Amino acid sequence: MSAPPVPPRTAAGDPFVLVGRTDVLLVGGSLDEAVRRANAYLAAGADCAFVPGAADAETIGTLVRELDGPLNVVMGLTGNALALDDLRELGVRRVTVGGSIARAMYRHLLTAARELAERGTFSYADDQLSQADLNDLFRQG
C-alpha cells in the first residue's frame, strides 16, 4: 500500500508544497536533532519534512516513524541502492533528485568531449536520441 502524495497548497491559484528542511545530517548532527528540527517545521505548518543526508533504509525508516508528518528524501546523489518501491515501502511520501539528473548529463558531456579531444572518435554518439525522438519529446509538453 502506497502513501498518498503530499498535497500541494495553493496561493493565488498556483500549487506549491511548503517544505521544512533541516541539514543537520549533512553537517554531522544527530538523527535525534534532525527529528526535533523537522517536527518543529511540521508543527509550524510545513507540508512535509526534508532531511538531506538520510539515504539508507534504517535512517529513513526511523525518520518516517518519528516524524509528525510526511518525509521528503533526496535520492540519486550517490547512486543509492534504494528504489522508489523501497522508499514507498518505508513510508516516504515525497522524493526529489536534486541536481543528480543534470550532473549525470554533464558526466556524459565530459566523456564525449574527452573522447573527441583525446582520441578523435565519435563513439559517444552511438546511444544518442534521434532528432525525431527529441522533437517528439519537446512536442509532448
pLDDT at 16: 83
pLDDT at 112: 95
* Rounded mean pLDDT, 71-81: 83
Work out the percent of the chain whose per-residue pLDDT is above 70.
Answer: 89
Task: Kindly list the structural domains of the chain, giving each domain's residue range(s) and its CATH number in brackets, ordered by start.
Answer: 9-98 (3.20.20.60), 101-139 (no CATH)
State whether residue 2 is helix, strand or coil. Answer: coil
Query: For 74, how many CA atoms within 13 A lie in the half-sphere containing its CB?
Result: 17
The answer to whether 63 and 35 have CB atoms below 8 angstroms apart is yes
pLDDT tens, position by position, 77-92? 776 789 999 999 999 9
Q: Band of the pLDDT at 2, cuts 50, 70, 90?
A: very low
- The yes-or-no verdict on residue 50 having pLDDT over 60 is yes
Q: Band of the pLDDT at 1, cuts 50, 70, 90?
A: very low
More confident residue, 124 or 77: 124
Residue 71 to residue 20: CA distance in whole angstroms: 10
More confident residue, 141 or 28: 28
